[in-house]
Structure 1
Amino acid sequence: MAKTQLNVRVDEATAETARERASQRGMSVNRYIEELVRRDEGESGRAFVQAAADFMKEYEAVFAEEFGGRDTNPR
């Protein structure tokens, strides 16, 4: 995958924390930041799926009443 440069400004304490955490994990700061962003992206996707599942569970009776046992995906 092609890489692109991204410049960000953070306070010195945040920069030092990033350096320390990356070092503890045996990786570069660049790699550490990449992994944080990827993890955050994955968590957003999981949060969306969980919210959708919660919505369907909460309104299951409404959907059942409205659509009954009809097959909404005929073959």
Structure 2
Amino acid sequence: MAKKQLNVRVDATTAEIARERAEQQGISMNQYIERLVQQDMGEAGRTFVDTAAQFMKEFETAFLAEFGEGPAGELQDVRR
């Protein structure tokens, strides 16, 4: 995959911590920042799925009342 250059500004303390963490992990600063972004993307996806599951759990009764349940347990549209 082609790489794209980003220029970011952070305070001196943040820059030093990032350098130290990258060094501790034996990777470049670029790799460290890339991993952080990838982890953040993964967490956002997990958060979405967890939130959607909680929503369905809380509103399952309302969905079943509105749409009913099909033979295999799936929701069906009963408004027809």
Q: Structures share a fold, TM > 0.5?
A: yes
CA distance in 2, matches of 1:8, 1:69: 52
TM-score (normalised: structure 1): 0.90
Structure 1 residue 58: Cα displacement: 0.1
Structure 2: 5+ residue runs without aligned partners?
none
Matched, 1:17 2:14: no
Structure 1 residue 21: Cα displacement: 0.2
* Identity percentage of aligned residues: 62
Deviations 1:8-37 (A, max 9, x none): 011110000000000000000000000000
| Aligned position for 2:35 | 35
Structure 1 residue 64: Cα displacement: 1.1
TM-score (normalised: structure 2): 0.85
1:1-75 to structure 2, matched below 5 A, reads 1-70=1-70, 72=76
Partner of 1:7, secondary structure, is: coil
CA distance in 1, matches of 2:4, 2:68: 52
- The one-letter code of the counterpart of 1:54 is Q
Q: Which runs of 4+ in 1 moved over 2 A?
A: none
RMSD: 1.4
Partner of 1:5, secondary structure, is: coil
Structure 1: 5+ residue runs without aligned partners?
none
Partner of 2:4, secondary structure, is: coil
